[in-house]
Amino acid sequence: MFPTPKKLLSSKDIIGYTLPRLHTGKDWYVDFYVYDPTIDGLKRKKYMLNKYAKNERKKIASVLITNLTQLLISGWNPFLNTDKSRGYTTWDVVIKRYTDYTKIAEKKGMLKSKTAVDYRSRLSVLLSYIEEAKISIKYVYQFDKTFVVDFLDYIVFDKERSPKTRNNYRTWLSTFATWLVDRQYIKENCVESISMMKEGEKFRDAIKIEDLRKLKEYALDKCPCFYLACMMEYYTFIRPEELRHIKIGYISIKYQTITIPADVSKNRKEQAVALNDTILKLMIDQGIFNNPSSDYLFGKDVRPGKEQIAINRFRQEWARVRKALGFPNSYQFYSLKDSGIRDLANAEGIVVARDQARHSDISITNKYLKSEKVAHEETKHFRGEL
């Protein structure tokens, strides 16, 4: 019997770095590879020498290589910040420790039972966000302001929660960050500098007619797949969180409808919405129905596919388009629904808009129109019997 072949390790695997080397040609530089824990592998580090005179480059490179070699041998790593020694504790380990902490604190009376349960509930939503948005977070130091802001945007824009709910999550995140700081997992509370959201009127605006035309011209040419998503939002009023669950098989060409299953619908009721002629034609032109009925209408590349689109992808694509067109920040992806409700209500009446939006009451539709105190013209000219 022959022994089972073993996978041979390279010097990179054994040492964790390669020695610096000089490269010459169009560009002169010294490079080496060293272990980066964020990717769990070797990463290249390069020092450019083009700024020095050609007759000095070899001498400078020689000194640089000598110094870098000594540093690497002594344990120096350019991708590690010594201030983050506990920052490289894995995220999963920290989450388990935090969860255990809330349970023990609850048991010992340090936290009220209601508070501890609330903390774990919010943590569960945070972990769901990481999974749904396909966020790569391996070490606790990656819990930073950018990460937190993106999560809070997810709460208010993707999950369609109120500013008050978003602010409640911000408050919890601040207590979580303080817990991390106290245990030296992070250096400072990154949540403190994040402002509360005003808990008043809707924070987004419907899109002006002329801007809708600009959007159509740009998106149809530059990103036709995302243009279909915009059309779906504008004409069908399907919420972004619901839209990512829609499969091609849910669309009926015969009845010109889209069915939102109960397990997808926000109100947990199976409902059907009308599919506008314009959007149906666009779907046929894009060959949507040539794909399997089991495919998601919007896959990971914003086109039909087996893998579901990430929950924050619509918002990310919208941000790119908004920037390209110079639209204000008050124009959100969800603003397309506001605009569609406004335009359908103006064309066919608020009752039609209410039913297409699946609102239980016209007062909800009026909130989208920002006209809670609307005075209908029909009322002004109504002739009664008294």
| 296 close to 176: Cβ distance less than 8 angstroms | no
User: 153, exposed or middle or buried, with CB in 10 Å at 0-12, 13-18, 19+?
Assistant: middle
Domain at 209-369, CATH homologous superfamily: Intergrase catalytic core (1.10.443.10)
Q: Flag whether pLDDT at 29 surpasses 50.
A: yes
Span 274-297, average pLDDT: 93
pLDDT in the model for residue 82: 52
Domain segments of the chain: what residues?
Answer: 11-80, 91-182, 209-369
Lowest average pLDDT, out of 32-36, 111-115, 281-285, 359-363, goes to 359-363
Q: Flag whether pLDDT at 229 surpasses 60.
A: yes
Tokens describing residue 60 = 């400078």
Q: Flag whether pLDDT at 133 surpasses 80.
A: yes
Q: For the chain, how many helices (H) and strands (E)? A: 15, 6
Question: Which residues, 6+ apart, have CB-to-CB distance to 188 below 8 Å?
Answer: 181
Gap between the Cα atoms of 315 and 159, Å rounded: 11
Mean of pLDDT over the chain:
85
| 286 close to 224: Cβ distance less than 8 angstroms | yes
pLDDT in the model for residue 10: 40
Q: Flag whether pLDDT at 15 surpasses 90.
A: no
Q: What is the pLDDT of residues 243-252, one digit of tens each?
A: 999 999 999 9
Number of neighbours of residue 342 by Cβ within 10 angstroms = 19
Span 193-211, average pLDDT: 83
Q: Flag whether pLDDT at 379 surpasses 70.
A: no
Q: What is the pLDDT of residues 54-82, one digit of tens each?
A: 899 999 999 999 999 988 887 788 876 55
Q: What is the pLDDT of residues 77-88, one digit of tens each?
A: 887 655 556 888
Q: Name residue 111's amino acid.
A: L
Per residue, the 3-state secondary structure of 11-50, as one string, reads: HHHHHCECCCEEECCCCCEEEEEEEECCCCEEEEEEEECC
Predicted TM-score (pTM) of the model is 0.62
Q: Flag whether pLDDT at 11 surpasses 50.
A: no
Picking from 274, 276, 302, 300, the residue whose alpha carbon sits closest to that of residue 288 is 302
User: 177, exposed or middle or buried, with CB in 10 Å at 0-12, 13-18, 19+?
Assistant: buried
- Placement of tokens 């979580």 in the chain: 176
pLDDT in the model for residue 372: 42
DSSP 8-state secondary structure symbol assigned to residue 257: E
